[in-house]
Chains A and B, each alone.
Chain A
Amino acid sequence: METLHPTSGYTALLLGDLLRELPRAEDFFTSLGLPLPAGDESTETYFGRIPAETLEDLGIERRELGERFTAFMDLLVVLRDKGNGPAIEAITILGGVDKDGAPEDFSLTIRPGEVISIVGPTGSGKSRFLADIEWLAQGDTPTRRRVLINGCAPDPARRFSLEQKLVAQLSQNMNFVMDLTVAEFITMHAESRMLGDVAGITATVIAKANELAGERFSPHTPVTALSGGQSRALMIADTSCLSISPIVLIDEIENAGIDRRRAVHTLVGEGKIVLMATHDPILALMGDRRLVFRNGGIAALLETSPAERANLAAFEEMDARLTAVRNALRNGERIDRL
């Protein structure tokens, strides 16, 4: 059978052929609560024989079923072929204005594998900056910034494309809420991405998460039973391998139970662009550059200087000493000596 293209008349094809090509086509029927058509039946025929009463109950008109099925199949083909699209090599943000209308005057180009720190007080414009990237602002947001992909203004349709969402977010407040085990959870995420080797990628994500977490966990642990550190580790491993988005925003990840430097390396290793909102000097200095936010705009773009890098060793030593004190406290020891 020929490879499906978005223009094919899906409804005339036999279901058996469709399922061989795109097994997840069956989700269309399960998501509506309909039994699967027979393998040697076209969906057109199948839709024709659904009782009117069933359609009433579903709240769908017969002619709409075909339209919806076509839209669904188009979506599957796009998901399957997404790897064939042009990769993101660079995202450029052209400065606009701050809250008072003063020009920002910067042009920032970020590439996969880069780490950029974001600093500034609450309300200084960090969220709006992220939103401008998400929305692919073209001078049409309050900041008047413009976002380019691979040096060009992106196709306007991209703004609403879930498959091409630019920013994934990871913050302190996020929790798992699904009632599933770790393995079921990651499998579900991988399936939604229409990946071929779901079992393989699931195992990889769980192994990576265990490398990051202080305490190991099994694939059979319910996600809601993971500790804070384990949850964060699983979120980072999952985002690095399975998220659609090339940019990952990390918002003030706490120090407990996870190796944060390794976490950042994991994301960068998978070709993500890491934006890190943090006021922790050790994390901030992991960035190649840092964006300083003030009054709704970017006030400065600082390259991490050699002197700052040299200080990193000193900060790490201080951090190690404080960690040792914390561990002593946890072990029931006295902390009367420095």
Chain B
Amino acid sequence: MRLVTVAGPPSSGKTAVIIRAAEALRADGVRVGVIKFDCLSTGDQALYERKGITARTGLSGNLCPDHFFVSNIQECLQWGEQSGFDLLVAESAGLCNRCAPHIKDVCAVCVIDNLSGVETPRKIGPMLKMADLVVITKGDIVSQAEREVFAHRVRQVNPGAVVMQVNGLTGQGGYELGRLLAGAEETVSLTGRLLRFSMPAALCSYCLGQRKIGSDFQMGNVRKIDFS
């Protein structure tokens, strides 16, 4: 089975883009399954199922969503194998702009939208900078100049990636994205594989349930803004 990780800021169009690619692949007889990682709640599983795409949801609740992702991805792979998929898409939101669920030698996709502004590519960390494929959405509502500048800014921070425009509403580019995903490497097992980059350091008193504000209540990995 082939595995791809798809990550991107909330509301950038990840689900719509995956649905477009999956529909195009289904027409070619490729069986696609989706595992959706989210934090609190998501209606996306129902959205996938309405389109006839088998999907499962993993909610991280009060755990760091990307840590939750890493702790579960091997089991997701097994589920995909048992379900007989040709392609499993692991979709997750990048919430702090620093995390990335991307795994070495597993096709990594980042979805970002033209509306998020030209400074956004610089603000997103490994999720964008280490992706193999960057999908830019919502191109139908901004000017040609903005599309070109935005794509250029993406190329500046990730010169090696394939950059393509996909429109989740009209489906433009969905077929082409499907072809690229179907060509991803086969993944047999993830045990022992490496994340492309370490998750951000955590573990301070607030990770452990502290709610009070003030230096006296801060322990562990704490960093302060330099006002000097």
Contacts and interface: CB of A to CB of B under 8 A. Distances in A.
A162 B162 CA distance: 9
Q: How large is the interface on A (under 10, 10 to 19, 20 to 34, 35 or more residues)?
A: 35 or more
Interface in A22-63: 27-28, 31-33, 56, 58-61
A178 B164 CA distance: 21
B162 A238 contact: no
B172 interface: yes
A264 to B, nearest CB: 16
Given A189-B148, A235-B145, A239-B144, A59 B164 contact: no
Interface string B152-166: 110111011011100
A31 B197 contact: no
Contacts of B179: 140
Nearest to B121: A31
A68 B142 contact: no
Contact of A175 (B121, B126, B141, B155): B141
Contacts of B58: none
Nearest to A192: B152
Q: How large is the interface on B (under 10, 10 to 19, 20 to 34, 35 or more residues)?
A: 35 or more
Interface string B169-189: 010110110010000000000
Contacts of B170: 127
A242 B152 CA distance: 13
A240 B210 CA distance: 59
Interface string A213-250: 00000000000000000010001001100111000000
A95 B65 CA distance: 49
Contacts of B164: 160
- Residue among A162, A170, A188 with the most chain B CB within 10 A? A162
A74 to B, nearest CB: 7
Interface of B: 27, 98, 100, 114-115, 117-118, 121-122, 125-126, 129-130, 139-146, 148-149, 151-153, 155-157, 159-160, 162-164, 170, 172-173, 175-176, 179, 197-198, 201
29 contacts: A31-B121, A32-B122, A59-B98, A59-B197, A60-B126, A60-B129, A68-B159, A71-B160, A72-B159, A75-B155, A75-B159, A127-B170, A135-B176, A140-B179, A141-B175, A142-B27, A160-B163, A168-B144, A171-B140, A175-B142, A177-B115, A177-B142, A178-B146, A188-B149, A189-B148, A192-B148, A231-B143, A239-B145, A243-B144
Given A61-B197, A75-B156, A142-B27, 13 more contacts: A31-B157, A32-B157, A33-B122, A60-B129, A71-B159, A72-B156, A131-B175, A142-B175, A174-B140, A175-B143, A192-B149, A192-B152, A244-B148
